[in-house]
Amino acid sequence: MRTSRLLALALLATASVAFAQDILRPLGGWSTIIVYGKVQMEDGSPPPKAVIIERVCTDGQPPGNVALTDKSGRFTWRMDVDPTSILRCTIKGVLKGFSSTNYEIPNMNAFSDPHLPPLVMSQNGSNSEIEVLSDQIKVPYAAQVAWSRAEKALTANRLPEAERQLTLAVKAAPKFAPGWNALAVVLEHENKPTDALIAYRKAIEADPKLLGAYVPLARLSIQVKDWEAADKTTADLIARDNAGRYAEAHLLQAIARYQLKNVDGAVASANDAIRMDAKLHKFPSAEYVLALCLDGKNDHAGASEHLKKYLAELPPRAPNAEIVRDLIAKLDKSIADGTPSPLVPPAPEALAGTVELPSTGVPGEAWVPGGRKALAALTGLKDASSYDHFFADYCRALARDDSRNFPGNSSVSRGHSRIHGDCFRTASSGRTKWGQHEDHAFARHGRAAEKCGTRAGAAGLEAHLEGRIVPGAA
C-alpha cells in the first residue's frame, strides 16, 4: 500500500514537472522561437528561384536545411534554442550557381529581435567579394593557413595584410586559381593595377574556367591601352560564355576593336552588347561606342540615332549629359546643312562609360568614372580638358572657394574636405601634376560624382565616400 502511494506521488511529481515545462517553455521562449529572414541579390532584388537556408554548427554534424524562401526571398524559421549550449551556428543561402554571405546566429531568446539581417547572394562568375571569399572554394592544404588569415584581414579591411597572406597562399600553391583571383581583387583595391593584371592572368592560366577573372583583366588591359590583349581576353570569355551572361565582354571587345581600327568588328560587338543588355540596361555606353563606329563609317544619321539612345539611358543630371546633347545638336545640324563632320572620339577609357574601371596607378592617364568633367562640375571649373594640369586647377578652384556649399548634403562636403586636404598636402610637396597619389585620392570622389550626379542624394554619396564599394559593380 505504501509502495503504491509513493509510486503515485512520484508519477504526480513527474507529471507536474513536465506540465510546468510545457507551460514555461513557450512563455520563457528558450525552447523554440520564430525568426524571420530575407535573402536578396547584391542589387537588393529577390533571388531568381527559391533559396534553401542551410545551417552548420560547430558540433561537426552535417549541414541541415532549416527554411526555404518564398518568391520575395523571405523565410520563416522555427529555431530551437538552448541558452546553456556552447555551439555556434551560421546560416547561408544555397542555390546552384550562386554564392551567399554567412550569418552567425547570436544567443537569442523570446525577447530578442526576431528579424535577422539579410543574406546577400551573387551569381557565380561575377567576381564579387561574396564569390571571391566563398566558403565553397576548395583551398589546397598548403595554402589553408594563409588563406584563413587573408579572409580575416579582408573582413577587417586590412588590405596590405590580406595582400601579404594571399601572396603566401599562391606561393605555397601556385595553381590555386581562386587565390590568384582574390589577390588580384585586393591589388585593384590597393591601386596596383599592373600587379593585379598579372595576378588575373595567373588565375586564368591556372583555371581557364574561372570566368569571373576575364572581365576585370579586359578592363585593366584597356586601361593600359593593350588593345590586342583586351580583344583576345574578351574573345576567350565570349567563346566560353555558353549562357550568354557577359554583355560587358562584348562592350569591352567593341572598345578594343575600335582602337585597333577594326570598325566592322567593333560594330558587331557593340550590337551584341546592346542586344544582350536589352533588359537590364547596365551598359548604355555600348550605344555611344556604336555611334562612334557608325560615324566612322559615314553613317552620320545612325550615329545621331544611337547617341540619342545613349542620352535617353543617362540619369538626368549625369555629368556628361549636357556634352552628349551638344554633340547630338552639332551632328544633327551638320547633317541638315549637308556638311556632316565626324565625331571627335573621347579618350578610349571614357568609352567604357558605366564600366567601373579602377584607377591605374601606373604612368599615363588615370580613368575615374565621371572623370575630370564630374570633378570640374563639383568645383565650378569650366575647362577640364587638360589632363596634366587638371589637378593643380582643381586645387586652385577649391582654394578660391573653401566655403563652397555642395548641393544638399553633408556627404559631398566631407568628400570635398578630404580632397582639399589631399590638395594641400600635395601642393606642399611641390607636385603640380596628377600622379599616382592623386589617382588614389580622387578615385572615390570621382565615382561618387559619376554614380550619383553632382546633386545626388546623400545615401549614395555617403556609401561611395566612405569606401563601401563592391568590386566590379557598376
Look at residue 394 in the predicted model and tell me its pLDDT. Answer: 57
Chain segment 212-222, per-residue pLDDT in tens? 999 999 999 99
Look at residue 473 in the predicted model and tell me its pLDDT. Answer: 32
Every domain of the chain and the residues it spans: 31-123, 387-474
d(CA 406, CA 411): 9
d(CA 147, CA 39): 27
Query: Based on the number of CB atoms within 10 Å of its own CB, is 355 exposed (0-12), middle (13-18) or buried (19 or more)?
Result: buried
Helix H, strand E, coil C: the string for 361-423 is: CCCCCCCCCCHHHHHHHHHCCCCCCCHHHHHHHHHHHHHHCCCCCCCCCHHHHHHHHHHHHHH
DSSP code of residue 341: -
Look at residue 109 in the predicted model and tell me its pLDDT. Answer: 80
d(CA 9, CA 380): 90
d(CA 247, CA 279): 11
Look at residue 433 in the predicted model and tell me its pLDDT. Answer: 40
What DSSP letter does each residue of 15-54 carry, written as one string? Answer: HHHHHHHHHHHHHHTSSEEEEEEEEEETTSPPPSS--EEE
Look at residue 62 in the predicted model and tell me its pLDDT. Answer: 87
Look at residue 426 in the predicted model and tell me its pLDDT. Answer: 45
What is the residue whose three cell numbers read 561575377?
126
Look at residue 344 in the predicted model and tell me its pLDDT. Answer: 62
Chain segment 248-298, per-residue pLDDT in tens? 999 999 999 999 999 999 999 999 999 999 988 889 999 999 999 998 888
CB-CB contact of 471 with 127 (8 Å): yes
* Cα dihedral: 227, 443, 439, 223 (round 10): 0
What is the CATH code for 31-123?
2.60.130.10
Look at residue 27 in the predicted model and tell me its pLDDT. Answer: 44
d(CA 463, CA 88): 31
Q: Which of 80, 17, 88 has the alpha carbon at shortest distance from 59? A: 88
CB-CB contact of 352 with 283 (8 Å): no
Write the CA distances from 386 to 8, 344, 391, 443, 447, integer angstroms: 97, 16, 9, 18, 20
Look at residue 381 in the predicted model and tell me its pLDDT. Answer: 56
d(CA 377, CA 111): 51
Which amino acid is residue 288, in one-letter code?
Y
Using the Cα atoms of residue 282, residue 322, residue 450 and residue 428 in order, give the sign of their dihedral. Answer: positive
**Residues in the chain, pLDDT under 50:** 6-7, 9-29, 347-372, 384-388, 401-416, 422, 424-474
In the chain the first and final C-alpha atoms are separated, in Å, by 84
Global pTM reads 0.61
